[in-house]
Structure 1
Amino acid sequence: MSVQIPNLTNLAEGLKKNIKGISSAFLKLEFDHAKTAKDAPVDDVAQQAIKEALPKNQAGLLVTGALEDALQSCKKRVEAIAKQCHMTNRRFRDIEFDLEKDQFSCRFGLEGPDSPWSPSAVKRVTDIFDKPVFFGPDGPNASDVRQGGLGDCWFLAALSAISTIDGLVEKICVARDEEVGVYGFVFFRDCVWKTIIIDDLLLWSMPKYDELNPREKALYHNERETYHNVVEKSGKGLLYARSGTVGETWVPLIEKAYAKLHGDYAALEGGFLSEGIEDLTGGVATSFQMSDLLSTDRFWTDELQHADRHTRLFGVGLTLNAELSGIAEPTVQGLWPAHAYSVLRARECRGKRFVVVRNPWGNSEWTGAWADGAKEWKGEWLGVLGELGHEFGDDGQFVMEYSDFLSVFQLIDRATLFDSSWIMSSYWLRVPPQPALHPWTYGDAYYYIKLDKASSTVIVLAQTDDRYIKGLHGEAPMWYLDFLVYEKESKEMVGISGISLGSQRSVSCEVRLEAGEYIVLPRVEPMDRGLLEVNRPKSLSFWKMVLTKSSSTTLLPVRALYGVAASSVVFWLNARNRDCSLQITKYGKRSITSPARQKWHWKST
């Protein structure tokens, strides 16, 4: 009997023709109310708005109503799968993301590889390690993360950064049964927490001993056991990410879960650390140039110091022009351009400021002043190593003096994390785009915000995450985003979004709002006006999010989905400000698919 295999190219074209139907499912209206948490301690001294907006207790996953649902759903699904596997005496195999039976789709998706490829071996973690464990005896830490043969340094750098916060990785890795090989995770995508379940099958890049030629076998003294111990059981043969601790599996498995979230591994090629932290924690991230800092002293005290308090996480990168240098792969004293680095710590020791940075490769470090073994490390300065939490070794972690840090790196990714006292709500809407040629103006849509009490606020405008639909949308226009915040009565502008020069997924601002009513005016502009004229969407979708504390935090996101932008305003309310009511009224100046006017009045309970 013959079996007809569908043509992947025809399948992709068919999906593209029906993209409007697919996109409408993604762009449904959502209004997510989150649960309150215990009261956070009130500061004795009033602080600046930017400081007031930061979490007062341990920051971690953004607590929303959907988070609790996702956690419970994840645990129940893992328990049900484990129970079924024990009954049938079979290990779990994820037919939704089967690396063995559907390796092409899991690795490359609909677009396919850029060059000829051959299938890799697939092994369970029990076939790779003698005694595999999800977390080693020291738990997850930044030094565990090792990048493999995938260009997802941005995600692994984000994973290293969040590993500096005790217990945070464990919250993302919700449930597991290592005996049957089932693992459950949660990720934050498009303002909603998603549950992902995977098995323990991983891609393997090394041949079996019997597949080696005589010359290769001689490298291992023609001993099968030596090859087995050096190559197979060390985990170094994993095709993609691995842990630096032999036998530990959390790094490759969380990478696999994140790949499944976006459809395939190839979807993770290229990105920004800020995006990874947002997806892992629900935090709010932005990117900016080092040269735009007004005061480097204030950046050290007001922002980098919060890295130690785990309220802010940072990543950095640099750029070089290979054509000008005439070198194929130029570096800056061991640091690579177009590569993401995690900022682990910032400490002041004996009158000098130091920053501890990490390369997700797990090697290839800074070779300038204060590098491992550099001449600066002598006498009393050797005692500073303990204060910095640093040891010499080719593990990708290195120390830089703050002045070098500022001069070498050019791009900064900064993410703000929220503790359990923050509350988020969100709303999606659609607005028709303006023509390619039109005045530079705001007002495609606008929102009223009413606060009963003064509050610090974070407003974010973000585009929908199109990473998981790569290969479907073709050449859809991308969008420049910004917005203004006005006081309704006085018409005074009180806030403006910052410029994101790295990731274009979102823009945001942090501003203290007094009690009263405010208007948020977003603007969405195509990056390529010519492309917009060729492939112009009928409407743009926006989602509205608000977060409020004893300071309130407001997120206003917008994203492009198949040529359709999605945006939202988000408000977080802090539990210790229970009597602060927040009212959001949405208006659209043009025709919109949702009702022309909707109101919500929400009060913390």
Structure 2
Amino acid sequence: MDELTNFLKQAGKEFLNVAGDAAVGAAKEVVGSVINEIFIKKEADTKRVLPSIKNMRVLGERGSGTRVQADIQDFDAIRSMCLANGSLFEDPLFPANNESLLFSQRPDRHIEWMRPHEITDDPQFFVEGYSRFDVQQGELGDCWLLAATANLTQDPNLFFRVVPPDQNFEENYAGIFHFCFWQYGKWIDVVVDDRLPTYRGELMYMHSTEKNEFWSALLEKAYAKLHGSYEALKGGTTCEGMEDFTGGVTEWYDLKEAPQNLFNILHKAVDRNSLMGCSLEPDPNVLEAETREGLIRGHAYSITKVCLLDIAVPNRQGKIPMIRMRNPWVMRPNGMVRGVIVHLNGVIYRKIKSRKSV
């Protein structure tokens, strides 16, 4: 019976892997997504399911293509050992080498793995708290993950479930950090060291607008470890990331066939602290084509606000349903982040060119 049970469990994991790959292809036909958290209804009361840290599993994984569970890594035990030895943690399951970066090719330049204190004189896990502006895209094509990460910052309960606050670069620093993700029906704790890929002293991938803030870069590294490499994060859906950050389920809406009450659905989702994102269908002929309104096709956006606005619009009276979107990739040379406020039917009414307003 045990052999049969193990076989069925492994078969289930393989099925989920295949389904995940198929979901990436299906995502190209979807232009909107909403994630709702799991709720348990108990009489007239509704409570969010957020397992305690005690119920979490710890996991380490390596390799690409096939997920193979490796040795268990306990954050507290490893940190205590490093502090006792006076050493900084070096993760043997996700080493600082090319295998952790790419699986299909070799880097086209020399990549140096550096710890934050080698990049800046004053590394911080958080700089004046955390916000969606701490999430900026680098060279990796994982905008879907960045959109989900930016959304995560809007709910403190969810954020600190994924990003445990018991870590910093000062007290009890040992070069080790950990993050929690929802996988196969369980919360797991992923441990990483703080060696990050850089080129000419600059972080290559996810980073903060603050040069000495590193929580987002380390979160991306932990997620890359979970999937086998940084390259494994290239291409995906925002819903995948939001599910892994919340343990919730997703709802998809194609705006070509959207229900008439879609705005009410979005508005209620905001009231429930749901995470939301959207995207435009990609142009098959042009990679990341930009529309005349400034939107990038095939790119993931965070929805940062849903509201009714009183604005002057020709041939229109009353309040207009609007959504505010943010693209963490669109960073202009002058340091300004460009975003948009959009009418629900897709008409662009206003562009935002303010560093911290989107």
Q: 1:2-81 residue pairs with structure 2 within 5 A?
A: 26-27=10-11, 42=44, 56=46, 62-64=49-51, 68-70=54-56, 77-81=74-78
Distance of 2:12 and 2:331 partners within structure 1: 45
> Would you say 1:399 and 2:341 are equivalent positions?
yes
TM-score (norm 2): 0.73
Q: Which amino acid aligns with 1:117?
A: D
Report what 2:125 is aligned to. Answer: 134
Superposed CA deviations along residues 327-350 of structure 1, whole A, max 9, x for unmatched, are 676321211111111111101133
Q: Which amino acid aligns with 2:211?
A: V
Report what 1:272 is aligned to. Answer: 237
Q: Which amino acid aligns with 2:303?
A: V
CA RMSD of aligned residues (A): 3.3
Distance of 1:143 and 1:197 partners within structure 2: 25
Report what 2:280 is aligned to. Answer: 318
Q: 1:475-490 residue pairs with structure 2 within 5 A?
A: none
Distance of 2:287 and 2:228 partners within structure 1: 33
Q: 1:246 to 1:307 in 2, by over 3 A?
A: farther
Report what 2:353 is aligned to. Answer: none
Q: 1:91-102 residue pairs with structure 2 within 5 A?
A: 91-99=88-96
- Secondary structure of 2:307's partner? strand
- Secondary structure of 2:156's partner? coil
From 112, 117, 120, the counterpart of 2:111: 120
Unaligned runs of 5+ in 2: 1-5, 14-38, 61-72, 311-318, 350-358
Distance of 1:173 and 1:310 partners within structure 2: 21
Are the aligned partners of 1:152 and 1:270 in contact in 2 as well (CA < 8 Å)?
A: yes
**1:77 offset after TM fit, Å?**
2.5
Are the aligned partners of 1:330 and 1:336 in contact in 2 as well (CA < 8 Å)?
A: yes
Distance of 2:255 and 2:41 partners within structure 1: 37
> Would you say 1:262 and 2:264 are equivalent positions?
no
Report what 2:259 is aligned to. Answer: 294
Are the aligned partners of 2:288 and 2:299 in contact in 1 as well (CA < 8 Å)?
A: no
Distance of 2:140 and 2:7 partners within structure 1: 28
Distance of 1:73 and 1:404 partners within structure 2: 43
From 316, 323, 329, the counterpart of 1:355: 323
Q: 1:238 to 1:403 in 2, by over 3 A?
A: same
- Secondary structure of 2:337's partner? coil
Q: Which amino acid aligns with 1:394?
A: M
Distance of 1:205 and 1:23 partners within structure 2: 44
Report what 1:84 is aligned to. Answer: 81
Distance of 1:342 and 1:307 partners within structure 2: 14
Superposed CA deviations along residues 145-185 of structure 1, whole A, max 9, x for unmatched, are 10111111101101111211124222212243532121111
Superposed CA deviations along residues 221-243 of structure 1, whole A, max 9, x for unmatched, are xxxxxxxxxxx5xxxx2111101
Are the aligned partners of 1:242 and 1:252 in contact in 2 as well (CA < 8 Å)?
A: yes
- Secondary structure of 2:228's partner? coil
Instruction: Tell me which of the two structures has the higher relative contact order, counting C-alpha pairs closer than 8 angstroms and 6 or more residues apart.
Output: 2
Q: 1:165-204 residue pairs with structure 2 within 5 A?
A: 165-174=155-164, 175-176=166-167, 178=169, 179-204=173-198
**1:403 offset after TM fit, Å?**
3.4
Q: 1:194-343 residue pairs with structure 2 within 5 A?
A: 194-206=188-200, 232=201, 237-295=202-260, 298-301=261-264, 303-321=265-283, 323=285, 330-332=289-291, 333-343=293-303
Superposed CA deviations along residues 402-433 of structure 1, whole A, max 9, x for unmatched, are 333699xxxxxxxxxxxxxxxxxxxxxxxxxx
Are the aligned partners of 2:277 and 2:302 in contact in 1 as well (CA < 8 Å)?
A: yes
**1:354 offset after TM fit, Å?**
2.2
From 140, 144, 151, the counterpart of 1:150: 140
Aligned residues: 294
Distance of 1:120 and 1:291 partners within structure 2: 44
Superposed CA deviations along residues 169-213 of structure 1, whole A, max 9, x for unmatched, are 22212243532121111111122222200011000012xxxxxxx
Q: 1:330 to 1:152 in 2, by over 3 A?
A: closer
TM-score (norm 1): 0.44
Distance of 1:256 and 1:72 partners within structure 2: 16
Identity between Structure 1 and Structure 2 (%): 27
Unaligned runs of 5+ in 1: 1-21, 30-36, 44-55, 207-231, 365-392, 408-605
Q: 1:406 to 1:194 in 2, by over 3 A?
A: farther
Q: 1:197 to 1:293 in 2, by over 3 A?
A: same
Distance of 2:275 and 2:177 partners within structure 1: 26
Q: 1:271 to 1:28 in 2, by over 3 A?
A: closer
